[in-house]
Structure 1
């Protein structure tokens, strides 16, 4: 009778190989300096544009009433860089880098805040009964909830950088005109024409950096 030891060893090797193929082969997301995006750092998520470095993302109400929970919009002022965010994994991983295609949580890290303090600063997809066909991205998520899981996917490589898109389990993040001066508001959409291409600019003084609203 053949010993079970070779079979066990083979299964272990097979599992390790599968882990390398599905995890180790992923590419890290790159920031605007061409460096891997780190879980221990903070970044400004800004629109990918050849002509502007401004117009970053801010927590903004999605309705006139009620004001809470807050949504996320691109600043209508192109010189305003937005508020910094950090990335984390919703499950235990030792990765230092944020990898393309992996589920991550996104959290605003600024102390400057327009209210609604009872909500967390984690991003989430609006899954309420009143959500539209293109549900808004809100602030107030929870790390372990799947509607707070986002993926960063490489879209196109340009001269001087890489454009990424953000997506969820239910669709790609795009923009629609919001209620405040028609500033672009982040939503989930299947309309490729609305896809919001972004870049990640590292905030080097991570312990003290904030941006005013």
Structure 2
């Protein structure tokens, strides 16, 4: 009996296993559904005891622009929604773990600095600190506007994630506005900002009225 059919079967089995191993893992939202580029999400702290969502806020008193990103210390304030996209046009609508994505605020309520885009970026200016701020004003195809979503292995359930870049991990430090947590690029694991993604259903404008947002009411 020829051994060719058996060898062929084994090769096919190995190739199938390799494909399954390399299949990209979906980023999941709080309802355990895949995160999509066609929807909007709130980025919230993984633990509900650790404050609310994210808002555009100045990173220093002067100049106010470009805006940075701070977390509300008020748990009930969910922040502004974001959308995810890829730096280059792809047909894929699912966001996968370790994909490079752009993150963009999606809200008509805005505190100012309208001349800047709403894409996130890492501050690469000459005045940036050792832990540079995450700012608003990025560009889709520029690498300092590329973020990755990585699942945190130490948490059961697979819904705790951290944001990373080519240069490090996104964490928080005390910001200039009443010490509200401010997003920065860091290599200090103690500062890592663990997050989850809640899909937006309907219009969130009412949760962040323009008049209040202009006063940075994230406390």
On whether the aligned pair clears a TM of 0.5, the verdict is yes
- Which of 60, 63, 82 is the equivalent residue of 2:57? 60
2:73 aligns to what SS in structure 1? coil
The match for 1:38 is 36
The CA deviation at 1:200 is 0.1
The CA deviation at 1:76 is 1.8
Cα deviation, 1:57-102, whole Å, max 9, x if unaligned, reads 0000000000000000001222100100000000121111011001
Distance 1:71 1:23, change over 3 A: farther
Show structure 1 runs of 4+ deviating over 3 A: 20-24, 156-161
The CA deviation at 1:146 is 0.5
> Do the aligned residues in 2 keep the contact of 1:32 with 1:161 (CA within 8 Å)?
no
TM-score by length of 1: 0.85
TM-score by length of 2: 0.82
1:193 aligns to what SS in structure 2? helix
Cα distance in structure 2, aligned partners of 1:124 and 1:77: 25
Cα distance in structure 2, aligned partners of 1:204 and 1:109: 13
Number of residue pairs matched by the alignment: 192
For 1:2-81, what aligned pairs fall within 5 Å after superposition? 25-51=23-49, 55-81=52-78
Distance 1:23 1:136, change over 3 A: farther
For 1:37-186, what aligned pairs fall within 5 Å after superposition? 37-51=35-49, 55-156=52-153, 158=155, 162-186=159-183
Cα distance in structure 1, aligned partners of 2:158 and 2:24: 19
The match for 2:12 is none
- Which of 204, 210, 216 is the equivalent residue of 1:209? 204
